[in-house]
Amino acid sequence: MKIYRRGTGEKYTPFNHFNMQTQVIFNPEGGCRRANFTLTTLPKDSGSYDEIHENSDQVFYLIQGSMSVYAHGKLVAEVREGDAVFVEAGDVHSVRNEEERDAIFLAVTVPPLDQTH
């Protein structure tokens, strides 16, 4: 069993993302071999560019604020606190916060990505 203590995980900006911060909760380096759990903060005008994870599913659970979800540069949905997004392996996706309030979401990636930053 592993315990995560608030604020203790490594912080970084993932590749293909901008003006945002992701913090590791659990990942393979921390003993969770089968998944990545990260907490991401998206300030206004931050997000990611279209990307594809060929072999990994992702779930984004929005804890605070709202964010826009895109695919191929087109808006797919606006999600708000308590909403979740499932991105199946191979799906093109990107996210962006276009609101004043920070968006905060938990991301679960299974299996973990080879490159996280």
Q: What is the CATH number of the domain that holds 104?
A: 2.60.120.10
Mean pLDDT of 94-105: 98
Domain that holds residue 54: 11-110
The whole-number average pLDDT for the span 84-100 is 98
pLDDT digits (tens, 9 = 90+) for 13-54: 998 999 999 999 999 998 899 999 999 999 999 999 999 999
Q: Is the pLDDT of residue 63 over 90?
A: yes
User: Does some domain include residue 90?
Assistant: yes
- The identity of residue 91, as a single letter, is D
95 pLDDT higher than 70? yes
* pLDDT for 114: 74
> Which residues neighbour 5 within 8 Å (Cβ) at sequence distance 6 or greater?
none
**Section 68-79 average pLDDT:** 98
Asked whether the predicted pLDDT for residue 9 surpasses 90, the reply is yes
Q: How many domains are there within the chain? A: 1
Structure tokens that stand for 45 in this block? 């005008």
What's the number of CA atoms in the CB half-sphere (13 Å) around residue 53? 22
> Is residue 4 over pLDDT 80?
yes
Q: Say which residue the tokens 């797919």 belong to.
A: 76
